[in-house]
Structure 1
Amino acid sequence: MVIEPEDSLRIETAAQHRALGHPLRQRLLFSLGQQPATTSQLAAALGVAKGSVGHHLKTLREAGLVRVVETRQVRGGTEQYYQRTARRMDLDDPSHATTSAMLGGLAEELSTADDDPLLVLRHLRLSDAQAERLRAALTEIAESATDDGDEAPRHGLLVTMYRQGTTGAGPA
C-alpha cells in the first residue's frame, strides 16, 4: 500500500523548528523527497554513518516531518522505509537556526549537483509595489512548477525574497 505525502505541511511547533535546525536533517528531507528509503540507503547515499542517520530520522519522525511507510523482514530484523509527510514544508517563522540549517543543507546539495546549478543573489532597491509584484511572480513560478513523473530527474528549487535589514548594512 503506497501512502502519498500531503501536498504541504505548515511548520509551526517548536519541535518542528528544532528538527529542521540541522543541515543533515535538511539533507535527509531532500533525499526523502525522491522516494521512500531505509536508514542504510540514506546513509550510503549521503555518505553518513547509519547511527547518525538513525538519530536524525528519529528527531524528524517525532516532529511529524517523516513517517514509516513500509516495513520488510530482512535477515532476522525489520527494515523500515521512511518518507516525508509532505512534499512542501512552509515555515511560519523562518528563525535563524532553521534558515541557517536549510541553507547549509542546500549548500551540501549544490556541491554534489550533477549539472551547473543556478544560484543568483541580487540586492535591488524596490518600491513596496515593485516588491509585491516580484514576490507574487516568484510565488506563482514556484507554485505552478509540477513534477514530470518518476522517470524525470529531480531538481531543487529554492525561492526567497526578503527585505534587507538595516543592521550591519553597508553604504547606501
Structure 2
Amino acid sequence: MTTEDADSVHIQTDEQLRAVASHTRHRILRVLRDGPATITQIAERLGIAKGSSNHHVKVLAKAGLVAVVETRKVGGVTEQYYAMTGRRIELPEPGAGQPETLMRHALADVEDAPPNEQKTIALNHARLSPEAWEEFNKRVHALMAELKELSDPTQPAADLFIAFYRPKDV
C-alpha cells in the first residue's frame, strides 16, 4: 500500500536503495523516527561503535534520507543532530523474485527483540474467497490506521509487522 504525501521520501535511485538495504541503517532510521540525534547518541542507542554510526549516517545523508537539523557547540566540540528528511520512506514495489527489503529488516528486528510479555508472534493459514480476502484486507488496513492514531512519541516504541498474502501453492 503506497500513500502519496509531501512528507514522504520516495526511494528512486540505486544509491537510496543501497542505503535502505542495510539493517544497521534501518535501525538508525528507527532511532531518528523518535527525533533528532547525534552520531554518539545513535551509537549508544544501538550499541554500535561511534565510527560505524558515523559511516552509516553519512551513507543515509548522501542518499538524502537524513540531514543535519541542528548544530550545537558543547565544550570545544560541535555536535550535529540528524533527523529523517521525511516522516515516512516509500519504497518502489519489488520486481518478481526481488526481496521485500523492509519486511526482511522488520523480521530481523522481531528476531532481535528481547523475549517478554509485549511480543506477539503468530502465523495463521486460511482459505479465503476473493470477497473474504478484500474484507479482511480492509480490516487489516483499518487496524494499522488505528495503531497510527494511538501513537504517542513519549511512549516506548512498538511495531506492527504484517504480511497478508496469498502464498504460491505447490
TM-score (norm 1): 0.78
Q: Using the TM superposition, give the Cα deviation of residue 142 of structure 1 relative to its aligned residue in structure 2, in angstroms.
A: 1.3
Select which of 116, 126, 131 maps to 1:124.
126
Root-mean-square deviation over aligned CA pairs: 2.4
**SS at structure 2 position matched to 1:137:** helix
The correspondence of residues 23-172 of structure 1 with structure 2, limited to 5 A, is 23-94=23-94, 95-96=98-99, 98=101, 99-108=103-112, 110-111=113-114, 115-144=117-146, 145-166=148-169, 169=170
**SS at structure 1 position matched to 2:88:** strand
CA distance in 2, matches of 1:60, 1:86: 12
Q: How many residues align?
A: 160
Counterpart residue type for residue 158 of structure 2: H
**SS at structure 1 position matched to 2:87:** strand
CA distance in 2, matches of 1:121, 1:22: 26
Q: Which runs of 5+ in 1 are unaligned?
A: 1-5
Counterpart residue type for residue 89 of structure 1: I
Deviations 1:102-150 (A, max 9, x none): 4324433x23x77521222223222222222222221122124225544
CA distance in 2, matches of 1:151, 1:103: 25
TM-score (norm 2): 0.79
CA contact (8 A) 1:20 1:26 kept: yes
Counterpart residue type for residue 163 of structure 1: R
Q: Which runs of 5+ in 2 are unaligned?
A: 1-5
Deviations 1:25-74 (A, max 9, x none): 11111111112111101111111001111111111112222221111122
Identity in percent: 37
C-alpha distance 64-119 of structure 1, shift in aligned 2 (>3 A): farther
Other-structure match for 2:8: 8
